[in-house]
Structure 1
Amino acid sequence: MIIHVDAHIAYRFEEPTDFLLQMEAAAIPEQALSGPGLTTSASEHEAHISGEDAIGTRAWLRCEGDFTADYRITADIDRHLVDLDALNQLPPHQLPGATVPYLFDSRYCPADRFQSFVEAEFGELSGGARINAMVQWVADNFSYVPGSSNATTTALDSFVERQGICRDYAHVVCTMARASAIPARFVSCYAPDVTPQDFHAVAEVFLADKTGEPGSGAWHLVDATRMATAGEIVKIGVGRDAADVSFLTSYGIAQMQDKRISVTRG
């Protein structure tokens, strides 16, 4: 699947400010990228570093005054898609070491608080079947309401209020999966059917593969908003929750002036 991405952001910094920018799609085997890529206005400092799990790239910048960033690429998505219902979960003691951090509570995902709920609601299911049931539960019980959450909203807040935006849906799915001893990470991404069009967020869960070999498994994308499908998602980065993969993290006062995102099929 061919996906075109055209993104523009503009900020103003009243004094010299360090910030971390992550809006470039990840150069990984499942998505081949071409195009001009990222261009930014002049800044005092710019350095590129690896994203979490070596997926994606972050840019450290330091700027005073007006700052703009434009990102244009074409992504050719070739992702292996499977029916999650057919996949088991790995026993925790067989999980690869790199997946273990995605079982723990994080800033926005208090998984320990959800263990009783997931056992009562989904206790007869396991593995991919449980993941599908949890994603469907969130889709059925939540309302997508722009402006209904903010930078402090956790998965528990969203669960109580039964509303939110994509990051909140992803946080709740990650939290429920971790409460079920299934590793889950937060994915920032682009996708063509996001409404209103913006940076998007989904969850990604680690399940056993069909070989049944101990420790053998793979990550699989799921979106409880139902606005993105795994075969059309352009990954930017991954993390424990939104705090790890915000498109801009500022260590000072930042005033957004403009943001425009366009994601279309080829």
Structure 2
Amino acid sequence: MALHIRADLTYDFPSPSETLLMLEASRDADQTVLRERLSVTPQSDLVRRDDGPAGERRAVFTASGRVRILYDAQVAVRRETPRLEGAAQVAIRDLPPGVLRYLRPSRFCPSDSFERFVDREFGSLRGGDRVVAILEWIAGHVDYVAGVSDAQTTALMTFADRAGVCRDFTHLAISLLRASDIPARAVSAYAWKLDPPDLHAVAEVFVGGGWRLADPTGKVEACDLVRVATGLDAADIAFMSVFGRAVLVSQAFSVTQADDEIAQGVGRLDAVAV
């Protein structure tokens, strides 16, 4: 399936500020960027700083005054929704070196505070079966409510409030999984059929010998996601980090099927990356 994604952001910068963007679709085995364009108006030199565990793409520029940032792309997604039930838990000694860091607590995911809870609630389960049970517990005990959390909300706060948005659901899931000795990390993604359209935060869990995507909110299937960034928690996957001050003027995201456009010749394989 091919998806047409678009992000249109306008911000006011009171003074010149270096700004890091992570809006571009990552390049990995499960998705291919067919065409794309990232532009900044007024024009500014973009410096590439691509790296990360899953093909993340970063651009840095200096913003001043009113700035419009536009990302437009077509991406072919070849990802199926993974099966979690029955997936084996990997012993810590057998984990790949790059996976070990996703067992540890992080800024928004204080997993060490949940160890007693997961032992009591899910102690009889391991691996993918425990992942499924944790996701079901979150679905049954946490309400999706906008406005009850902010950029400082941690998984402990969400656990107490029992409400939040995708970021909060993901942080709680990651915390419960890491407390279960199951590596888990945060992923930002464009999501087809998400209402309202937005960059969506989901979890990725290491069971059965590999990483498997799961949406703790239950709103989106893994096959309908275009991965952007991957990290320990929201601090690593923010779509824009401003080293200074910025005031939001407007922002809009859209994700639509692009297969018809490609059939008509609109989606040529002329990848343009600025």
Q: Indicate which of 225, 233, 241 corresponds to 2:225.
A: 233
Alpha-carbon separation, structure 2, partners of 1:181 and 1:128: 12
Identity %: 37
The equivalent of 1:257 in structure 2 is: 249
1:150-229 superposed matches below 5 A: 150-208=150-208, 217-229=209-221
Matched residues in 2 for 1:165 and 1:61: separation?
Answer: 30
- How far off is 1:42 after superposition? 3.2
Per-residue CA deviations over 1:169-196 (Å, capped at 9, x if unaligned) read 1111111110011110100001012222
Deviation at 1:83, TM superposition (A): 1.8
Does 1:6 find its partner at 2:6? yes
Deviation at 1:81, TM superposition (A): 4.2
Deviations 1:188-239 (A, max 9, x none): 001012222211100000112xxxxxxxx11000011111101111000100
Residue type at the aligned position of 1:262? S
User: 8 Å contact 1:45–1:63 — kept in the other structure?
Assistant: no
String of CA shifts for 1:67-122, please: whole Å, max 9, x gaps: 11111112211125432112111011111100001001101000000111111111
Which stretches in structure 1 are left out of the alignment for 5+ residues?
209-216
Q: CA RMSD in A?
A: 1.3
* Contact 1:43/1:62 (<8 A) preserved: no
Q: 2:54, 2:220 → 1: CA distance? A: 23
Q: Contact 1:222 / 1:229 at 8 angstroms: preserved in 2?
A: yes
Tell me the distance in 2 between the aligned counterparts of 1:22 and 1:102: 21
Matched, 1:37 2:29: no
Deviations 1:104-157 (A, max 9, x none): 110100000011111111111100010011111111211111111111100000
SS in structure 1 of the partner of residue 70 of structure 2? strand
Q: Give how far 1:55 is off.
A: 2.1
The 8 Å contact of residues 51 and 238 in structure 1, kept in 2 or not, is answered as: no
Spell out structure 1 runs of 4+ moving beyond 4 A: none
Answer yes or no: is the 8 Å Cα contact 2:77–2:226 preserved in 1.
yes
Preserved CA contact (<8 Å) 1:43 1:63: no
TM-score between the two structures when normalised by the length of structure 2: 0.91
Asked if the contact 1:13/1:255 (under 8 Å) is kept, the reply is: yes
Question: Where does residue 75 of structure 2 map in the other structure?
Answer: 75
* Residue 98 of structure 1: aligned partner: 98
CA drift at 1:43: 5.0
Q: Work out whether residues 186 and 234 of structure 2, in 8 Å CA contact, stay in contact via their aligned partners in 1.
A: yes
- Report the equivalent of 2:269: none
The TM-score normalised by the length of structure 1 is 0.93
Q: 2:235 aligns with which of 236, 240, 243?
A: 243
Query: 3-state SS of the aligned residue for 1:139?
Result: helix
What is the total number of aligned residue pairs between the two structures? 258
Name the counterpart of 2:132.
132
1:2 CA drift (Å): 2.2
Give, in whole Å, the separation in 1 of the partners of 2:191 and 2:54: 21
Check conservation: 1:110, 1:155, Cα contact below 8 A. Answer: yes
Q: 1:36 deviation in Å?
A: 3.1
User: Are the aligned partners of 2:81 and 2:221 in contact in 1 as well (CA < 8 Å)?
Assistant: no
Tell me which residue corresponds to 2:263: none
Say whether the 8 Å CA contact 1:43–1:61 is kept in structure 2. Answer: no
Mapped partners of 1:100, 1:42: distance in 2: 42
Instruction: Give the C-alpha shift of residue 34 in structure 1.
Output: 1.6
**For residue 66 of structure 1, what is the aligned residue in structure 2?**
66
Deviation at 1:46, TM superposition (A): 2.1
